[in-house]
Amino acid sequence: MLGYNVTDRIVVFGGGVAQNTNVIASTPYIAGYTATMAGDVGYGYVLGAAYQIPDRDLRVALTYHSEIDTTHDTLEFVFLSSTTNITTPQSVNLEFQAGLNTKTLLFGAARWVDWSKFNIRPANYPLGTLFYPNHDSITYTLGIERKVSDRLALEVALNYEQGYLTNANALLPNSGFWGIGFGATYNISDNTAISGRIEYQALDDVSGPFGSFTNNHAGSIGIKIAHTF
């Protein structure tokens, strides 16, 4: 990713994306079906722009992620050869931050993903598709970051995603969630920072021809090191 300051308040940025995708699936309760898809690399791009007022800690950014297409040699039922095309959907991120005072920052985001055009459809799968979200999704985030010292900042954020499946399918037994995340950022130097985040999600209930899935939960942990120059 590269950025350019058009003015002291307007920034444009963009970059290329290389994505390696492979799939291994097994649904033994459906005629003993298995599929192994060889890896393939697809290419896309990211474009965006931001408006900022640095001395007020104000920033609003809009980012577009393009679709990425990959083609996979596929082996189904161990002996049937086919070709599967996969399109990773396009998405748009709208993010903002605003300083409430010298030590407290309010931030939020909305992310739209074009799931309605995404499927993994091997040629010989008995039910036609392995993965088929029915609707686009929008994920919302709202949080607060508090500066504890000159080097350390802590944050808490709430997340919500409205369910986008009308029916549960073989490999996606959930749709939408509520979540809460906690994070910390430590500035090692003026140009380098390390940050960590832990998140808990309560997944929405969903049902379909493969059964009902209720009271499910998910968790994630992430670490990032960033250097500006």
Give the predicted TM-score (pTM) of the model.
0.81
- CA 180 to chain centroid, in Å, comes to 16
Question: What confidence score (pLDDT) does residue 142 get?
Answer: 98
Tokens 């990032």 found at:
224
How distant, in Å, are the alpha carbons of 3, 201, 205 from that of 175? Answer: 35, 12, 7
pLDDT-derived band at 143, boundaries 50, 70, 90: very high
Question: What confidence score (pLDDT) does residue 183 get?
Answer: 96
Quick one: 208 exposed, middle or buried, by C-beta within 10 A (0-12, 13-18, 19+)?
middle
Average pLDDT of the segment spanning 67-93:
94
Tokens 């748009």 found at:
92
25-30, long-range: CB < 8 A, 24+ apart: 25/130, 25/171, 27/130, 27/170, 27/171, 30/126, 30/127, 30/170
- Residue 139 backbone dihedrals phi, psi, to 5 degrees: -110, 130
Mean predicted lDDT score pLDDT of the chain: 89
Question: What confidence score (pLDDT) does residue 121 get?
Answer: 85
